[in-house]
Amino acid sequence: MVTSIEQQYIDLHPKSAQLYATSKDIFPNGVTHDTRNLKPFPYFAEKAMGSHKWDVDGNDIVDYRTGHGGLILGHTHPDIVKAVTEQMQKGTHFSASTQLEIEWGQRVRELMPCADKIRFHSSGTEATMMAFRMVRAFTGKTKIIKFENHFHGWHDYAMVGGGALGGIPEETMSTMIVLPPNNISVVDKTLEENGDIAAIILEPTGSHMGNRPIEPKFLTELREVTKKHGVILIFDEVVTGFRASKGGAQEYYGVTPDICTMAKILGGGLPGGAVAGRADIIDMIQLREDPEFNSMQRVGHNGTFNANPLCAAAGIKALELLATTPVNETTDARGALLKDGLNDLLSRMEIPGCASGLNSMVFLRIGVDHECDREVCIMTGADLIKREDPVREHQFSLALYNHGVDAGTRFIMSAAHTEQDIGDTVEAIGRALSDIRSEGLI
Protein backbone atom coordinates (compact mmCIF):
# COMPACT_ATOMS: atom_id res chain seq x y z
CA MET A 1 0.00 0.00 0.00
CA VAL A 2 1.34 3.42 -0.98
CA THR A 3 1.57 5.93 1.88
CA SER A 4 0.50 9.55 1.48
CA ILE A 5 4.18 10.49 1.64
CA GLU A 6 5.04 8.10 -1.20
CA GLN A 7 2.12 9.33 -3.29
CA GLN A 8 3.26 12.92 -2.93
CA TYR A 9 6.77 11.87 -3.97
CA ILE A 10 5.38 10.06 -7.04
CA ASP A 11 3.29 13.09 -7.99
CA LEU A 12 6.28 15.44 -7.68
CA HIS A 13 8.67 13.31 -9.77
CA PRO A 14 7.11 12.04 -13.01
CA LYS A 15 10.29 12.53 -15.06
CA SER A 16 12.43 10.71 -12.48
CA ALA A 17 9.95 7.84 -12.68
CA GLN A 18 10.38 7.74 -16.46
CA LEU A 19 14.17 7.77 -16.20
CA TYR A 20 14.05 4.99 -13.62
CA ALA A 21 12.01 2.86 -16.00
CA THR A 22 14.94 3.09 -18.40
CA SER A 23 17.80 2.88 -15.89
CA LYS A 24 16.57 -0.27 -14.14
CA ASP A 25 17.11 -2.19 -17.38
CA ILE A 26 20.70 -0.89 -17.64
CA PHE A 27 21.95 -0.92 -14.02
CA PRO A 28 21.29 -3.25 -11.06
CA ASN A 29 18.35 -1.69 -9.20
CA GLY A 30 18.60 1.16 -11.71
CA VAL A 31 21.38 2.94 -9.79
CA THR A 32 25.18 3.25 -9.83
CA HIS A 33 25.76 3.58 -6.05
CA ASP A 34 24.16 1.46 -3.32
CA THR A 35 23.01 4.44 -1.26
CA ARG A 36 20.96 5.76 -4.18
CA ASN A 37 18.56 2.82 -3.96
CA LEU A 38 15.22 4.34 -3.10
CA LYS A 39 11.60 3.16 -3.24
CA PRO A 40 9.37 3.78 -5.12
CA PHE A 41 12.20 5.04 -7.38
CA PRO A 42 15.29 7.26 -7.03
CA TYR A 43 15.26 10.94 -7.92
CA PHE A 44 17.51 12.10 -10.77
CA ALA A 45 19.44 15.35 -10.41
CA GLU A 46 20.14 17.75 -13.27
CA LYS A 47 22.22 20.66 -11.97
CA ALA A 48 23.55 22.22 -8.77
CA MET A 49 24.99 25.45 -7.47
CA GLY A 50 26.12 26.45 -4.00
CA SER A 51 23.94 24.70 -1.42
CA HIS A 52 21.13 23.81 -3.81
CA LYS A 53 20.48 21.27 -6.53
CA TRP A 54 17.63 20.82 -8.95
CA ASP A 55 16.19 17.49 -10.02
CA VAL A 56 14.95 16.68 -13.51
CA ASP A 57 11.42 17.60 -12.45
CA GLY A 58 12.52 21.13 -11.59
CA ASN A 59 12.33 20.76 -7.80
CA ASP A 60 14.70 23.12 -5.95
CA ILE A 61 16.40 21.16 -3.19
CA VAL A 62 18.65 22.26 -0.32
CA ASP A 63 21.41 19.66 -0.48
CA TYR A 64 23.04 18.10 2.58
CA ARG A 65 24.44 15.06 0.77
CA THR A 66 27.15 17.41 -0.58
CA GLY A 67 28.75 14.87 -2.89
CA HIS A 68 28.69 12.17 -0.17
CA GLY A 69 30.59 14.62 2.03
CA GLY A 70 33.15 15.75 -0.54
CA LEU A 71 31.81 19.21 -1.40
CA ILE A 72 32.67 21.26 1.66
CA LEU A 73 32.87 24.35 -0.61
CA GLY A 74 29.43 23.67 -2.09
CA HIS A 75 28.48 22.87 -5.66
CA THR A 76 30.26 24.50 -8.63
CA HIS A 77 32.45 26.78 -6.53
CA PRO A 78 33.72 29.43 -8.98
CA ASP A 79 37.39 29.02 -8.01
CA ILE A 80 37.21 25.25 -8.54
CA VAL A 81 35.41 25.69 -11.86
CA LYS A 82 38.09 28.16 -12.97
CA ALA A 83 40.96 25.87 -11.94
CA VAL A 84 39.47 22.84 -13.69
CA THR A 85 38.54 24.79 -16.82
CA GLU A 86 42.04 26.21 -17.16
CA GLN A 87 43.59 22.79 -16.70
CA MET A 88 41.21 21.22 -19.23
CA GLN A 89 42.62 23.62 -21.81
CA LYS A 90 46.17 22.49 -20.99
CA GLY A 91 45.47 18.76 -20.85
CA THR A 92 43.94 16.15 -18.58
CA HIS A 93 46.54 13.38 -18.72
CA PHE A 94 50.20 13.51 -19.70
CA SER A 95 51.35 10.01 -18.64
CA ALA A 96 54.09 11.88 -16.81
CA SER A 97 54.88 13.53 -13.51
CA THR A 98 53.67 17.11 -13.07
CA GLN A 99 54.38 20.09 -10.88
CA LEU A 100 50.72 19.92 -9.87
CA GLU A 101 51.14 16.64 -8.02
CA ILE A 102 53.99 18.15 -5.98
CA GLU A 103 51.86 21.14 -5.01
CA TRP A 104 48.90 18.88 -4.15
CA GLY A 105 51.12 16.73 -1.94
CA GLN A 106 52.60 19.78 -0.23
CA ARG A 107 49.10 21.06 0.55
CA VAL A 108 48.23 17.74 2.18
CA ARG A 109 51.44 17.68 4.18
CA GLU A 110 50.90 21.22 5.45
CA LEU A 111 47.44 20.33 6.80
CA MET A 112 47.51 16.70 7.98
CA PRO A 113 49.71 16.08 11.07
CA CYS A 114 50.68 12.49 10.19
CA ALA A 115 51.60 13.17 6.55
CA ASP A 116 55.35 12.70 6.16
CA LYS A 117 54.88 11.13 2.71
CA ILE A 118 51.87 10.67 0.44
CA ARG A 119 50.66 8.41 -2.36
CA PHE A 120 47.69 9.50 -4.44
CA HIS A 121 44.81 7.32 -5.66
CA SER A 122 41.42 7.92 -7.26
CA SER A 123 39.08 6.96 -4.40
CA GLY A 124 38.79 6.18 -0.71
CA THR A 125 38.36 2.49 -1.43
CA GLU A 126 41.68 2.43 -3.27
CA ALA A 127 43.31 4.33 -0.41
CA THR A 128 42.26 1.89 2.30
CA MET A 129 43.16 -1.07 0.10
CA MET A 130 46.65 0.40 -0.36
CA ALA A 131 46.93 1.14 3.37
CA PHE A 132 46.24 -2.52 4.15
CA ARG A 133 48.90 -3.63 1.66
CA MET A 134 51.44 -1.21 3.10
CA VAL A 135 51.01 -2.21 6.73
CA ARG A 136 51.12 -5.91 5.92
CA ALA A 137 54.25 -5.48 3.84
CA PHE A 138 55.89 -3.27 6.47
CA THR A 139 55.18 -5.53 9.45
CA GLY A 140 55.22 -8.94 7.79
CA LYS A 141 51.94 -9.66 9.60
CA THR A 142 48.60 -10.55 8.03
CA LYS A 143 45.70 -9.56 10.26
CA ILE A 144 44.01 -6.18 10.61
CA ILE A 145 41.51 -5.09 13.26
CA LYS A 146 38.49 -3.02 12.28
CA PHE A 147 35.41 -2.07 14.29
CA GLU A 148 31.76 -3.01 13.94
CA ASN A 149 29.87 -0.99 11.30
CA HIS A 150 32.90 1.11 10.36
CA PHE A 151 33.03 1.67 6.60
CA HIS A 152 36.33 1.62 4.75
CA GLY A 153 35.25 1.15 1.14
CA TRP A 154 33.96 -1.83 -0.79
CA HIS A 155 37.08 -3.93 -1.37
CA ASP A 156 37.15 -7.49 0.02
CA TYR A 157 39.01 -6.79 3.27
CA ALA A 158 37.05 -3.66 4.14
CA MET A 159 33.65 -5.31 3.74
CA VAL A 160 34.30 -7.97 6.38
CA GLY A 161 32.02 -7.42 9.36
CA GLY A 162 29.24 -5.94 7.24
CA GLY A 163 26.71 -7.28 4.79
CA ALA A 164 26.80 -7.94 1.03
CA LEU A 165 29.74 -10.35 1.35
CA GLY A 166 29.14 -12.18 -1.92
CA GLY A 167 32.32 -13.21 -3.70
CA ILE A 168 34.70 -12.66 -0.77
CA PRO A 169 36.78 -15.78 -0.04
CA GLU A 170 36.81 -17.19 3.49
CA GLU A 171 40.60 -16.96 3.36
CA THR A 172 40.33 -13.20 2.91
CA MET A 173 37.78 -12.78 5.68
CA SER A 174 39.98 -14.74 8.07
CA THR A 175 42.62 -12.00 7.91
CA MET A 176 40.25 -9.42 9.42
CA ILE A 177 39.26 -9.17 13.09
CA VAL A 178 36.09 -7.20 13.87
CA LEU A 179 35.74 -5.77 17.37
CA PRO A 180 33.16 -3.60 19.17
CA PRO A 181 34.22 0.06 19.37
CA ASN A 182 34.82 2.07 22.53
CA ASN A 183 36.14 -0.90 24.52
CA ILE A 184 39.90 -0.66 24.91
CA SER A 185 40.06 -3.75 27.15
CA VAL A 186 38.82 -5.94 24.30
CA VAL A 187 41.38 -4.39 21.95
CA ASP A 188 44.23 -4.85 24.41
CA LYS A 189 43.25 -8.48 25.09
CA THR A 190 43.05 -9.22 21.35
CA LEU A 191 46.51 -7.77 20.77
CA GLU A 192 47.91 -9.71 23.73
CA GLU A 193 46.55 -13.01 22.37
CA ASN A 194 47.39 -12.56 18.68
CA GLY A 195 50.89 -11.73 17.50
CA ASP A 196 49.95 -11.58 13.82
CA ILE A 197 48.14 -8.23 13.84
CA ALA A 198 49.63 -5.59 11.55
CA ALA A 199 47.29 -2.66 12.19
CA ILE A 200 44.06 -1.23 13.55
CA ILE A 201 41.85 0.94 11.35
CA LEU A 202 38.83 3.04 12.29
CA GLU A 203 36.72 6.01 11.35
CA PRO A 204 37.95 8.38 14.08
CA THR A 205 34.58 10.04 14.68
CA GLY A 206 32.67 6.76 14.51
CA SER A 207 31.04 4.54 11.93
CA HIS A 208 29.34 5.95 8.85
CA MET A 209 30.66 9.51 9.18
CA GLY A 210 30.07 9.51 12.94
CA ASN A 211 26.50 8.24 12.94
CA ARG A 212 27.57 5.80 15.68
CA PRO A 213 30.17 7.91 17.46
CA ILE A 214 33.56 6.99 18.89
CA GLU A 215 34.26 8.29 22.39
CA PRO A 216 37.18 10.72 22.04
CA LYS A 217 39.06 9.05 24.89
CA PHE A 218 39.02 5.80 22.90
CA LEU A 219 41.29 7.39 20.29
CA THR A 220 43.86 8.28 22.95
CA GLU A 221 43.60 4.78 24.39
CA LEU A 222 44.07 3.24 20.95
CA ARG A 223 47.17 5.32 20.35
CA GLU A 224 48.62 4.12 23.64
CA VAL A 225 47.77 0.44 23.20
CA THR A 226 49.00 0.27 19.59
CA LYS A 227 52.32 1.78 20.62
CA LYS A 228 52.57 -0.71 23.48
CA HIS A 229 52.06 -3.67 21.12
CA GLY A 230 53.96 -2.28 18.13
CA VAL A 231 50.84 -2.20 15.96
CA ILE A 232 50.18 0.43 13.29
CA LEU A 233 47.24 2.80 13.84
CA ILE A 234 45.30 3.88 10.75
CA PHE A 235 42.75 6.70 10.77
CA ASP A 236 40.30 6.47 7.89
CA GLU A 237 39.91 10.20 7.24
CA VAL A 238 38.14 9.81 3.91
CA VAL A 239 35.22 11.80 5.36
CA THR A 240 36.79 13.61 8.31
CA GLY A 241 39.95 14.73 6.54
CA PHE A 242 39.83 18.54 6.17
CA ARG A 243 36.28 18.49 7.63
CA ALA A 244 36.50 17.64 11.34
CA SER A 245 39.11 20.42 11.23
CA LYS A 246 41.58 21.66 8.63
CA GLY A 247 43.87 18.85 9.77
CA GLY A 248 41.12 16.28 10.11
CA ALA A 249 40.06 14.37 13.21
CA GLN A 250 43.70 13.74 14.10
CA GLU A 251 44.28 17.47 14.55
CA TYR A 252 40.91 18.05 16.22
CA TYR A 253 41.49 15.35 18.85
CA GLY A 254 45.26 15.73 19.08
CA VAL A 255 45.88 12.05 18.30
CA THR A 256 48.31 11.38 15.45
CA PRO A 257 47.97 8.01 13.71
CA ASP A 258 50.82 6.25 11.92
CA ILE A 259 49.03 6.62 8.60
CA CYS A 260 45.70 7.92 7.37
CA THR A 261 43.56 7.56 4.30
CA MET A 262 41.85 10.47 2.53
CA ALA A 263 39.47 11.15 -0.35
CA LYS A 264 36.30 13.26 -0.86
CA ILE A 265 37.34 16.84 0.06
CA LEU A 266 40.90 16.00 -1.02
CA GLY A 267 39.84 16.03 -4.69
CA GLY A 268 37.89 19.28 -4.62
CA GLY A 269 34.80 17.59 -6.03
CA LEU A 270 36.67 15.38 -8.48
CA PRO A 271 37.96 11.84 -7.87
CA GLY A 272 40.95 11.81 -5.56
CA GLY A 273 42.28 9.62 -2.77
CA ALA A 274 45.52 9.28 -0.84
CA VAL A 275 47.42 7.39 1.83
CA ALA A 276 49.68 9.56 3.98
CA GLY A 277 51.78 8.94 7.04
CA ARG A 278 55.11 7.79 8.35
CA ALA A 279 57.74 7.78 5.62
CA ASP A 280 59.02 4.32 6.51
CA ILE A 281 55.55 2.83 5.93
CA ILE A 282 54.66 4.80 2.80
CA ASP A 283 58.09 3.96 1.40
CA MET A 284 57.06 0.32 1.08
CA ILE A 285 56.20 1.50 -2.46
CA GLN A 286 59.69 2.88 -3.06
CA LEU A 287 62.07 0.95 -5.32
CA ARG A 288 65.37 -0.07 -3.75
CA GLU A 289 68.71 -1.30 -4.97
CA ASP A 290 67.57 -4.72 -3.82
CA PRO A 291 65.99 -7.04 -6.44
CA GLU A 292 64.77 -9.46 -3.79
CA PHE A 293 62.95 -6.68 -1.90
CA ASN A 294 61.50 -5.21 -5.10
CA SER A 295 60.19 -8.61 -6.13
CA MET A 296 58.86 -10.04 -2.88
CA GLN A 297 58.30 -7.25 -0.33
CA ARG A 298 57.75 -4.01 -2.22
CA VAL A 299 54.15 -2.84 -2.68
CA GLY A 300 53.57 -2.20 -6.39
CA HIS A 301 51.21 0.57 -7.33
CA ASN A 302 50.05 1.71 -10.73
CA GLY A 303 46.82 3.57 -11.46
CA THR A 304 45.94 5.38 -14.65
CA PHE A 305 44.46 8.41 -12.93
CA ASN A 306 46.75 8.70 -9.89
CA ALA A 307 47.31 12.44 -9.29
CA ASN A 308 46.08 13.28 -12.78
CA PRO A 309 46.34 17.00 -13.62
CA LEU A 310 42.61 17.67 -13.64
CA CYS A 311 41.93 16.24 -10.18
CA ALA A 312 45.16 17.73 -8.86
CA ALA A 313 44.11 21.20 -10.01
CA ALA A 314 40.75 20.88 -8.24
CA GLY A 315 42.34 19.40 -5.12
CA ILE A 316 45.01 22.08 -4.89
CA LYS A 317 42.46 24.86 -5.11
CA ALA A 318 40.15 23.23 -2.55
CA LEU A 319 42.95 22.74 -0.02
CA GLU A 320 44.24 26.26 -0.67
CA LEU A 321 40.81 27.67 0.15
CA LEU A 322 40.59 25.51 3.26
CA ALA A 323 44.00 26.71 4.44
CA THR A 324 43.53 30.40 3.74
CA THR A 325 39.82 31.17 4.17
CA PRO A 326 37.31 30.42 6.97
CA VAL A 327 35.73 27.41 5.26
CA ASN A 328 35.78 25.19 8.34
CA GLU A 329 34.67 27.98 10.64
CA THR A 330 31.69 28.68 8.37
CA THR A 331 30.62 25.06 8.01
CA ASP A 332 31.00 24.46 11.75
CA ALA A 333 28.89 27.53 12.53
CA ARG A 334 26.16 26.36 10.15
CA GLY A 335 26.27 22.92 11.76
CA ALA A 336 25.84 24.46 15.22
CA LEU A 337 22.93 26.59 13.98
CA LEU A 338 21.23 23.55 12.48
CA LYS A 339 21.72 21.49 15.65
CA ASP A 340 20.25 24.23 17.80
CA GLY A 341 17.30 24.67 15.46
CA LEU A 342 16.55 20.96 15.31
CA ASN A 343 16.80 20.40 19.05
CA ASP A 344 14.45 23.31 19.62
CA LEU A 345 12.08 21.86 16.99
CA LEU A 346 12.04 18.42 18.63
CA SER A 347 11.26 20.05 21.97
CA ARG A 348 8.41 22.13 20.55
CA MET A 349 6.92 19.14 18.72
CA GLU A 350 7.37 16.93 21.81
CA ILE A 351 9.28 14.32 19.82
CA PRO A 352 11.93 12.33 21.68
CA GLY A 353 15.40 12.53 20.17
CA CYS A 354 18.21 14.92 19.45
CA ALA A 355 20.38 16.50 16.78
CA SER A 356 24.04 15.86 17.51
CA GLY A 357 27.39 15.41 15.83
CA LEU A 358 30.83 16.94 15.41
CA ASN A 359 31.07 20.39 13.82
CA SER A 360 29.77 20.18 10.23
CA MET A 361 28.42 16.60 10.52
CA VAL A 362 24.93 16.61 12.05
CA PHE A 363 22.75 13.59 12.78
CA LEU A 364 19.05 13.64 13.61
CA ARG A 365 18.08 10.90 16.05
CA ILE A 366 14.39 10.48 16.74
CA GLY A 367 12.24 8.07 18.68
CA VAL A 368 14.28 7.69 21.89
CA ASP A 369 14.37 9.79 25.06
CA HIS A 370 17.98 10.11 26.17
CA GLU A 371 20.69 12.43 27.41
CA CYS A 372 23.80 13.38 25.40
CA ASP A 373 26.18 16.30 24.98
CA ARG A 374 24.91 17.05 21.43
CA GLU A 375 28.29 16.05 20.01
CA VAL A 376 28.90 12.45 21.01
CA CYS A 377 25.57 10.62 21.23
CA ILE A 378 26.13 6.93 21.89
CA MET A 379 23.21 4.51 22.01
CA THR A 380 23.27 0.75 22.29
CA GLY A 381 20.87 -2.18 22.46
CA ALA A 382 17.14 -1.53 22.26
CA ASP A 383 17.57 2.26 22.07
CA LEU A 384 19.77 1.91 18.97
CA ILE A 385 17.27 -0.41 17.28
CA LYS A 386 14.42 1.96 18.11
CA ARG A 387 16.36 4.95 16.81
CA GLU A 388 17.30 3.28 13.52
CA ASP A 389 13.81 2.16 12.50
CA PRO A 390 14.27 1.56 8.72
CA VAL A 391 10.59 2.10 7.86
CA ARG A 392 10.45 5.42 9.68
CA GLU A 393 13.79 6.57 8.23
CA HIS A 394 12.67 5.72 4.68
CA GLN A 395 9.38 7.59 5.02
CA PHE A 396 11.10 10.54 6.69
CA SER A 397 13.69 10.80 3.89
CA LEU A 398 10.95 10.83 1.24
CA ALA A 399 8.88 13.36 3.19
CA LEU A 400 11.86 15.63 3.67
CA TYR A 401 12.69 15.49 -0.04
CA ASN A 402 9.05 16.32 -0.79
CA HIS A 403 9.57 19.49 1.26
CA GLY A 404 12.76 20.51 -0.53
CA VAL A 405 15.63 19.06 1.51
CA ASP A 406 17.91 16.14 0.60
CA ALA A 407 19.45 14.69 3.75
CA GLY A 408 17.61 11.84 5.38
CA THR A 409 18.78 11.94 8.99
CA ARG A 410 22.40 12.89 8.16
CA PHE A 411 23.33 16.48 7.32
CA ILE A 412 26.81 17.11 5.89
CA MET A 413 27.29 20.86 5.78
CA SER A 414 29.06 23.00 3.21
CA ALA A 415 30.35 26.55 3.45
CA ALA A 416 27.73 27.46 0.85
CA HIS A 417 24.83 26.82 3.23
CA THR A 418 23.35 30.11 4.39
CA GLU A 419 21.43 31.01 7.52
CA GLN A 420 18.36 31.21 5.29
CA ASP A 421 19.02 27.63 4.14
CA ILE A 422 19.19 26.51 7.77
CA GLY A 423 15.94 28.26 8.65
CA ASP A 424 14.19 26.77 5.61
CA THR A 425 15.59 23.35 6.48
CA VAL A 426 14.28 23.42 10.05
CA GLU A 427 10.84 24.35 8.73
CA ALA A 428 10.98 21.54 6.17
CA ILE A 429 11.98 19.04 8.83
CA GLY A 430 9.06 20.15 10.96
CA ARG A 431 6.69 19.43 8.07
CA ALA A 432 8.36 16.07 7.38
CA LEU A 433 8.06 15.09 11.04
CA SER A 434 4.37 16.01 10.95
CA ASP A 435 3.99 13.82 7.86
CA ILE A 436 5.50 10.75 9.50
CA ARG A 437 3.51 11.45 12.66
CA SER A 438 0.36 11.34 10.52
CA GLU A 439 1.49 7.92 9.30
CA GLY A 440 1.78 6.75 12.92
CA LEU A 441 5.57 6.39 12.80
CA ILE A 442 6.32 8.67 15.78
Q: Are residues 134 and 283 in the same domain?
A: yes
Q: What is the pLDDT of residues 270-322, one digit of tens each?
A: 999 999 999 999 999 999 999 999 999 999 999 999 999 999 999 999 999 99
Confidence grade of residue 378 (pLDDT, cut at 50, 70, 90)? confident
Please tell me the predicted confidence (pLDDT) of residue 100. Answer: 98
Q: Are residues 202 and 244 in the same domain?
A: yes
**β-pairing, 273-277 with 117-121?**
antiparallel
Q: Identify any residues that bridge with 276 across adjacent strands, giving them in sequence order.
A: 118, 260
Q: Are residues 252 and 203 in the same domain?
A: yes
- Domain end, chosen from 307, 324, 341, is at 324
What's the DSSP call for residue 286? S
Is pLDDT at 381 greater than 80 in this prediction? no
Please tell me the predicted confidence (pLDDT) of residue 441. Answer: 85
Query: Distance between CA 390 and CA 392 in Å, rounded?
Result: 6
Q: Are residues 169 and 312 in the same domain?
A: yes
Q: Kindly report the CA angle at 325 between 323 and 327, in degrees rounded to 5?
A: 90
Q: Are residues 149 and 250 in the same domain?
A: yes
Taking Cα atoms as reference points, which of 170, 174, 178 lies closest to residue 152? 178
Contact 406, 71 (CB under 8 A): no
Domain that holds residue 38: 4-75+326-438
For range 362-369, the mean pLDDT: 91
What CATH number does residue 385 fall under?
3.90.1150.10
Please tell me the predicted confidence (pLDDT) of residue 368. Answer: 85
Q: Kindly report the CA angle at 411 between 416 and 271, in degrees rounded to 5?
A: 65
Number of domains in the chain: 2
Q: What's the whole-model pTM score?
A: 0.95
- Domain end, chosen from 280, 298, 324, is at 324
Is pLDDT at 386 greater than 80 in this prediction? no
Q: Are residues 169 and 277 in the same domain?
A: yes
Enclosing H/E stretch for 227: helix 216-229
AA letter at 370: H
What lies within 8 Å, CB to CB, of 131 at 6+ separation is 199, 201, 234, 259, 261, 275
- Domain end, chosen from 298, 324, 350, is at 324
Is pLDDT at 1 greater than 90 in this prediction? no
Contact 343, 374 (CB under 8 A): yes
Average pLDDT, the chain: 96
